[in-house]
Amino acid sequence: MPKNQDIFISHSGKDKQIVDDFIDLILLGALSVPIDKIFCSSSDGTKIKSGTDWRDSILVALQEAKINFLFISPNYKESEVCMNEMGAGWVTSENVIPLIIEPINYKTVGVIQEPIQIEKLLDEKSLDRIKDILQETLEIPNSLIKSDRWTAKKKEFVLKTKGYLKANSFKKPIDRDEFDSLIEENNELETTLTKLIEEKSELEKLVEDLKKAKDKNDVSAIVKKYSDTSQFDEFEELTQKVCDAITNFHPIIIGIIFKTYSNKDITIKALGYIEYVDEALANDYINEELEASFSRTPKMEKIELLLDELSSYIAKDLSPEFYEQYENAYEAPLSISNKLFWEEVLALNLYFS
């Protein structure tokens, strides 16, 4: 590699056409910079020689360069090699000039230190300033730079590059806050997607189990198995069913049902409610000993089954969350044999006399 290369050009390989035009039209065509004074890894006449360690070549070129141009585009910022060249450029060269290409702007350029100068590659005034820097730094005599030629080549470069970018537009860059917001949104979407996949799997299992169901009881058990209701919700559902089954009885009859089911030695004095007792006797809801007859009618059988179901549920190994919710909702003991439980939790009025 020739020594004393005055210009180092750091760029993404994806932006080769833009850089080639800059070299051909601006450096060579308008400013008469010798080709051997330019180091650019992708352009003909300025490449690293075959068999040369490219890392050593880049380091030497950076150390020797009088001007270090950084062609900063979205492609550049996505390249690890380019970002390394940027960092090395600030360390090894005093005259680093970032040339930003839209949609990169002053906010998103992302240089590692505050540069003395950032220029817009396709701004004619920026190109005029670049010309002045090059002429002064490389000591290019005025006789080699003709005003008309400079103006023509400058305009040709701008128009040609704008046409290229129109046909090969960049994706819009985003700043850090927007990036973080998108990452957060993506994480939320992934969480939602994972939940939907899990729900889909559960629904597939539900469908398979329903196919095996033999009757409506099996169906109810399967639906309950896959429901997302809490234990307290299930408890409330059971107590409501018991309430609905018993609530139409007169309180004296409800008292008799409570006495019989709880198996407590309670004296029932029903003289004041004889008409309700006689009605219950006539319908076989109770017997002459003023005890509930759970096995003689479908209505009473259902009541006993519901009471048994509720009793079994209370006896289950319930979660701490259930007991916390119950204590927050009720003051009555959690016992189906307790009168307060029937009055507060089952919302039933019951008399004994």
| 300 and 276, same domain (yes or no) | yes
Sign of the CA dihedral with 120 first, then 126, 127, and 133 last: negative
pLDDT band at 122 (very low <50, low <70, confident <90, very high): very high
| 153 and 20, same domain (yes or no) | yes
pLDDT digit string, tens, across residues 233-260: 889 999 999 999 999 999 999 999 999 9
| 202 and 85, same domain (yes or no) | no
| 208 and 275, same domain (yes or no) | no
User: Can you tell me the distance from the alpha carbon of 86 to that of 90, in angstroms, rounded to the nearest whole number?
Assistant: 7
- Give the structural domain span for 215: 176-220
User: Can you tell me the distance from the alpha carbon of 45 to that of 35, in angstroms, rounded to the nearest whole number?
Assistant: 7
Going from the C-alpha of 81 to that of each of 46, 50, 86, 222, the distances in angstroms are: 18, 19, 9, 60
pLDDT at 44 over 50: no
Residue 325 domain flag: yes
Q: What is the pTM of this model?
A: 0.47
CATH number at residue 100: 3.40.50.10140
| 61 and 93, same domain (yes or no) | yes
pLDDT at 48 over 80: no
Q: Give how many domains the chain has, as a whole number.
A: 3
pLDDT at 83 over 50: yes
| 144 and 255, same domain (yes or no) | no
Position 52 scores a pLDDT of 45
pLDDT digit string, tens, across residues 265-299: 999 998 889 999 999 999 999 999 999 999 999 99
Q: What percent of the chain has pLDDT over 90?
A: 48
Report the SS3 class of residue 137.
Answer: helix
Position 117 scores a pLDDT of 74
Across the chain, how many H-helices and E-strands are there? 14, 5
| 235 and 310, same domain (yes or no) | yes
| 29 and 158, same domain (yes or no) | yes
Mean pLDDT within 304-309: 95
Residue 141 domain flag: yes
| 16 and 161, same domain (yes or no) | yes
In sequence order, what are the beta bridge partners of 96? Answer: 68
Contact 60, 53 (CB under 8 A): no
pLDDT band at 227 (very low <50, low <70, confident <90, very high): low
pLDDT at 54 over 70: no
Residue 249 domain flag: yes
Select the more confidently predicted residue: 241 or 105.
Answer: 241
| 200 and 253, same domain (yes or no) | no
Residue 197 domain flag: yes
What radius of gyration, in Å, describes the C-alpha atoms of the chain? 44
pLDDT at 1 over 50: no
pLDDT at 224 over 50: yes
Q: Within 13 Å of residue 300, how many CA atoms lie on the same side as its CB?
A: 21
Report the SS3 class of residue 96.
Answer: strand
User: Can you tell me the distance from the alpha carbon of 222 to that of 166, in angstroms, rounded to the nearest whole number?
Assistant: 61
Select the more confidently predicted residue: 58 or 180.
Answer: 180
| 242 and 310, same domain (yes or no) | yes
Residue 352 domain flag: no
Cis peptide bond prior to 103, omega within 30° of 0 = yes
| 29 and 83, same domain (yes or no) | yes
Contact 5, 61 (CB under 8 A): yes
In DSSP notation, 15-44 reads GHHHHHHIIIIIIIIIT---GGGEE-TTST
Determine phi and psi for 69, rounding to 5 degrees.
-90, 130
Residue 351 domain flag: no
pLDDT digit string, tens, across residues 127-139: 999 999 999 999 9
E strands of 66-121, at which residues?
67-72, 96-100, 119-120
